[in-house]
Structure 1
C-alpha cells in the first residue's frame, strides 16, 4: 500500500443527525474508503449515546461539539472529545465532518469553512456542494480543535435531524469522491461525477423569523434564489380565519428552511444568503 495523506470522515457528533451517519455508511458500503494510497478513517457515529436515544446531546445534556479539546477526567462528553483529539487527530491531514439541520430545520447541502483560507476554499471548490458558507470556527467545536492541530477541516451540512435524505447523501458521497480523486487516493474502480455548476460562495446570511404563531405552509423554494418580497411561505391559524404571507427579507438563496408544521412567533423559519 502506497503512503499518502490521512483523511477522516466523521458523523454523529450530534446523535440525532442520522443523515451524516448514512453518508459515512455509504462511503464504507461503496468501498470509497479503500484508497489506492494513504489512509481513510470512517467514524459513522461519534455520539453513540445520543444516537441510541435519538437525541442531539450526551445523556448529561452536554453538546459534544462545544467541549473540544476535552479533558481526560472531565464529563463523559469531554472524555470522548479528549480521546478523539489525542488518539485520532494527530494523524489526520484532512477531515470532513458531516452534520444535518437541528430540530426540524432542513439544510440544503453545503460546506462550511473559515474565510480567508485559500487552501480550504480550494478544497470546497473541489468538493463542489451546491453552496459553500464562510463561517467562523466556534470555540469548543471539533472543527476548531482539528484546525488548531493542522488538519484541513471541512464541515458538511445537509438535510435535517432524525431523517435520511437520499438526495443529500448522494450529494455528499459525490463530493467525497471528487475530494479523494483530487488527492490521488480514489480507487480506479470508482467513477467521479462532476457537478453541472460550481459551488456558490456565501459570505453573509440572515434568518427570517415568524411574525406570528400558527401552521407553517412552506412554498418549497429551498435551494432556489428568491427576490426581496417574494412569498416563500404562509402562516395560518387552524380555523381558516387568518393567513399571513411570509416574504423574503432580501434577495438571496434559501439555504435552510424550518419544516415544522407549527411555528411560534419569533421562530427562525428561513435562512437566506445576503449580498447578491
Structure 2
C-alpha cells in the first residue's frame, strides 16, 4: 500500500483538530457497484496514537453501532490528541440483511487478514485490513453475544502482551477474559500486525441497549485517557476479575428452563442455575454450577434440547469472587452495574431458587 499523509483519509483531507466522514471501498455488490463502508475520522489538535473503534463485524451485532454513532453525533468527550477512526458497521453486507455473515455464508471474523484473491469474505477482510487496521496502533472491536444469547459486558484481550494488557485494563471492565482470540478474528490479525486490539462483548444481537451503550462509552473514554488522548485518568471499576477459564454449561435433558440467575451474578459451587421442567411444570433436572463462578452469558430461550448451551461461566478464585460480591453489595442504588444486571435479566424469566444447593435430579 502506498504511503499516505497522516491527514489523508480516503480522499478527504482531515487536518489536526478537525473531523470528517468518509467511505472506504471494500467489495462490489452483485450488481457490480462498489460496496463502501462509511466511517468517521476525528483528529485531536496534537499528535498521538491512531485508534480504531469498530462494530458489526458480525452484521447482526449492533450494540456497538449505537455506541459509535453516539460518539460521532454527540462528541461525549474532548479529543486532545491522536486520531479516532470510527467505523459503525464493518460487515455492511451482513448488516443490511440483519445477518451475522456475508452473502457467501462465511464468517468475516474468522477471515482476517484476508486475501486479495480469495472468497468474497476473504477479499472483504483484506480490503478492510489494508485500509484501516494497518493504519492504527490500537483497536477496540465491539461485539455482542450470538443469536439467542446475551452477555454481561466483558473485555477480551491477550494479557500476555504488556501494551495490550495496559490498554485493556484501562477500559475499566469488571470482567476481563485473557485470550488471544480465535484464528482469523479481527483482533488476532490486528494484534499480529502491531495494532493492540481488545474486544468488548456486551448484550445481544439486533438491539441497541441503552445500558450497553453507556457502559461502552465509559470504557472507550477510559481507554483513550490511558493513551493521553482524552484528559483525566481512567476510572477504576468497583471490582476486577481476570481469568482465562470459561465454560458453557449445557442441558442434560430436553425441557423448559426456569432460570435462577442473571448475567453478572456470582454463584458458588452447587448453586442451581436453572431448573429443567416439562411443559406442565414437572421438575426433570437441575443445572448447577460445577465451580465458583460469575455468569458471563446465558441463553435467552428457555426451551432446550439435550446438549444445548444454558449458561457461560467464567471461573475465578473464591477469594476474588467474594471480594467482588462485597463490592456489588456496597454499590449505590441505581449504579450502572445494577442497571445492566436488571436490564439483561429482563431478557429471561428469573425465578427465586427454593434450594440453592440442589444437585441434578
- For normalisation by structure 1, the TM-score amounts to 0.93
2:215 aligned with 1:174:
no
2:249 aligned with 1:208:
yes
Q: Deviations over 1:141-192 (max 9, x none)?
A: 1111111110111111111112222212211110001111122212x6xx88
Q: Which has the higher contact order (CA 8 A, sep 6+)?
A: 1
Q: Kindly state the Cα deviation for residue 217 of structure 1 after the two structures are TM-superposed.
A: 2.2
Structure 1 residues 71, 160: CA separation in 2 closer, same or farther (over 3 Å shift)? same
Separation in 2 of the partners of 1:42 and 1:216? 40
Q: Deviations over 1:101-133 (max 9, x none)?
A: 001111111110114222222212210112000
CA contact (8 A) 2:256 2:303 kept: yes
Note the aligned Cα RMSD (angstroms): 1.8
Map of 2:101 onto structure 1: 57
In the TM superposition, 1:215-234 aligns within 5 A as 215-234=256-275
Separation in 1 of the partners of 2:258 and 2:197? 36
Q: Deviations over 1:242-276 (max 9, x none)?
A: 44222111111111111112211101111112241
Q: Which one of 158, 162, 174 corresponds to residue 206 of structure 2?
A: 162
Structure 1 residues 81, 34: CA separation in 2 closer, same or farther (over 3 Å shift)? farther
Separation in 2 of the partners of 1:192 and 1:183? 10
Deviant stretches of 4+, over 4 Å? none
Map of 2:342 onto structure 1: none
Q: Deviations over 1:55-93 (max 9, x none)?
A: 111111100011111112322211111111112122101
Separation in 2 of the partners of 1:215 and 1:192? 47
Structure 1 residues 41, 123: CA separation in 2 closer, same or farther (over 3 Å shift)? same
Greater alpha carbon shift after TM alignment, 113-122 vs 252-261: 113-122
Map of 2:285 onto structure 1: 244
Where does the alignment leave 5 or more consecutive residues of structure 1 unmatched? none
2:82 aligned with 1:41:
no
CA contact (8 A) 1:216 1:235 kept: yes
